Protein backbone atom coordinates (compact mmCIF):
# COMPACT_ATOMS: atom_id res chain seq x y z
CA UNK A 1 0.00 0.00 0.00
CA UNK A 2 2.82 2.39 0.87
CA UNK A 3 4.46 1.57 -2.44
CA UNK A 4 1.32 2.62 -4.36
CA UNK A 5 1.07 5.87 -2.40
CA UNK A 6 4.74 6.61 -3.13
CA UNK A 7 4.28 5.92 -6.83
CA UNK A 8 1.12 8.06 -6.95
CA UNK A 9 2.93 10.90 -5.16
CA UNK A 10 5.86 10.62 -7.58
CA UNK A 11 3.53 10.70 -10.59
CA UNK A 12 1.66 13.67 -9.13
CA UNK A 13 4.92 15.61 -8.66
CA UNK A 14 6.00 14.67 -12.18
CA UNK A 15 2.68 15.92 -13.54
CA UNK A 16 3.07 19.23 -11.69
CA UNK A 17 6.57 19.68 -13.11
CA UNK A 18 5.33 19.02 -16.64
CA UNK A 19 2.53 21.55 -16.23
CA UNK A 20 4.90 24.19 -14.91
CA UNK A 21 7.24 23.61 -17.86
CA UNK A 22 4.37 24.04 -20.29
CA UNK A 23 3.36 27.25 -18.59
CA UNK A 24 6.85 28.74 -18.72
CA UNK A 25 7.27 27.67 -22.34
CA UNK A 26 4.26 29.83 -23.24
CA UNK A 27 5.65 33.01 -21.70
CA UNK A 28 8.24 33.84 -24.41
CA UNK A 29 5.41 33.88 -26.95
CA UNK A 30 3.60 36.51 -24.91
CA UNK A 31 6.77 38.60 -24.68
CA UNK A 32 7.34 38.27 -28.43
CA UNK A 33 3.79 39.47 -29.10
CA UNK A 34 4.28 42.47 -26.82
CA UNK A 35 7.54 43.32 -28.58
CA UNK A 36 5.82 43.02 -31.95
CA UNK A 37 3.07 45.40 -30.81
CA UNK A 38 5.64 47.89 -29.54
CA UNK A 39 7.58 47.67 -32.81
CA UNK A 40 4.37 48.24 -34.77
CA UNK A 41 3.50 51.29 -32.66
CA UNK A 42 7.01 52.69 -33.14
CA UNK A 43 6.72 52.21 -36.91
CA UNK A 44 3.39 54.04 -36.92
CA UNK A 45 4.89 56.89 -34.88
CA UNK A 46 7.83 57.15 -37.29
CA UNK A 47 5.48 57.13 -40.28
CA UNK A 48 3.38 59.89 -38.72
CA UNK A 49 6.51 61.92 -37.98
CA UNK A 50 7.62 61.51 -41.59
CA UNK A 51 4.21 62.61 -42.89
CA UNK A 52 4.29 65.68 -40.67
CA UNK A 53 7.75 66.60 -41.95
CA UNK A 54 9.52 66.01 -38.67
CA UNK A 55 12.90 64.82 -39.82
CA UNK A 56 15.82 64.57 -37.44
CA UNK A 57 19.07 65.78 -38.95
CA UNK A 58 22.70 65.28 -38.06
CA UNK A 59 24.68 68.32 -36.98
CA UNK A 60 26.51 69.00 -40.27
CA UNK A 61 23.93 67.62 -42.73
CA UNK A 62 23.05 70.69 -44.77
CA UNK A 63 20.83 68.87 -47.25
CA UNK A 64 18.71 67.46 -44.44
CA UNK A 65 18.41 70.89 -42.85
CA UNK A 66 17.29 72.38 -46.19
CA UNK A 67 14.62 69.69 -46.60
CA UNK A 68 13.42 70.24 -43.06
CA UNK A 69 13.22 74.02 -43.39
CA UNK A 70 11.38 73.76 -46.71
CA UNK A 71 8.85 71.27 -45.33
CA UNK A 72 8.27 73.40 -42.22
CA UNK A 73 7.82 76.57 -44.24
CA UNK A 74 5.41 74.78 -46.56
CA UNK A 75 3.31 73.64 -43.59
CA UNK A 76 3.37 77.17 -42.19
CA UNK A 77 2.22 78.52 -45.55
CA UNK A 78 -0.63 76.02 -45.75
CA UNK A 79 -1.91 76.74 -42.24
CA UNK A 80 -1.58 80.52 -42.38
CA UNK A 81 -3.61 80.99 -45.56
CA UNK A 82 -6.93 82.69 -44.98
CA UNK A 83 -9.67 80.73 -46.61
CA UNK A 84 -12.79 82.82 -46.99
CA UNK A 85 -14.75 79.89 -48.28
CA UNK A 86 -17.35 78.41 -45.89
Q: What is the pLDDT of residue 12?
A: 92
Total number of domains constituting the chain: 2
Q: Which domain holds residue 8?
A: 1-51
Same domain flag for 2 and 35: yes
Q: What is the pLDDT of residue 86?
A: 56
Q: What is the pLDDT of residue 73?
A: 80
| pLDDT tens, N- to C-terminus, the chain (86 residues) | 788 888 999 999 988 888 877 666 556 556 567 777 777 877 777 776 666 666 677 778 888 888 878 877 877 776 777 766 65
Q: What is the pLDDT of residue 11?
A: 92
CA distance 21 to 38: 27
Same domain flag for 7 and 32: yes
Same domain flag for 41 and 60: no
CA distance 58 to 63: 10
Amino acid sequence: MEKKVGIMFFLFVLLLLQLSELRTAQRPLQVDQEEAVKASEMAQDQELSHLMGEETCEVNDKECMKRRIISESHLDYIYTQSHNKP
